Amino acid sequence: MEKEINKMDLGIDFIKLCQRNRFPLLFIDKVVHLEPGVRAMAVKNFSYNEWFFPAHFDDEPIVPGFVLFESMAQAFLMTFLSIEDRQGSKTSFISATNVVFRKKVVPGDSLVITADLMSFRHGIANGKVSATISGDIVCSCELKIGVTEMLEAMRPRVPNE
């Protein structure tokens, strides 16, 4: 029996049910809109208390590019890992293209990430992701991510001789 997604319960517990990222590398706080298999919108609120700000940089704290990129990837994961039979699946990056960083993200900013699943075939998800602050795009990319178990099932096997 397929569990219906409660639109009011798309917080951290639901995110952890769907994907395997955990503290300190879980970079989305909540999902604010979800159409499984189509689109996800997530939010990441940056506080000065984040573990990376003292090192990046103490005189001008900014969010590291890898954190922005990983936040966008995690929002993208929600587009296909929110489907019940895929929840909790292991994933791996295949490619990232057209990655563009446009503006700095600093403590106090709320990042709104919109991820669109363009296709999902043979365990490979393709999509487009953009991140905004106050409606201004700060980063965008195209992602290709594989679902490990599905990719393994597709791998040709050599018969034992």
Catalytic residues: 56
Q: How far is the C-alpha of 58 from the C-alpha of 34, rounded, in Å?
A: 36
Give every CB contact of residue 49 below 8 A, 6+ residues apart in sequence: none
Q: Which H/E stretch holds residue 42?
A: strand 39-45
Beta pairing partners, 112: 43, 132
Q: How far is the C-alpha of 54 from the C-alpha of 46, rounded, in Å?
A: 13
Q: How far is the C-alpha of 111 from the C-alpha of 89, rounded, in Å?
A: 25
Q: How far is the C-alpha of 121 from the C-alpha of 147, rounded, in Å?
A: 10
- Give the SS3 label for residue 76: helix
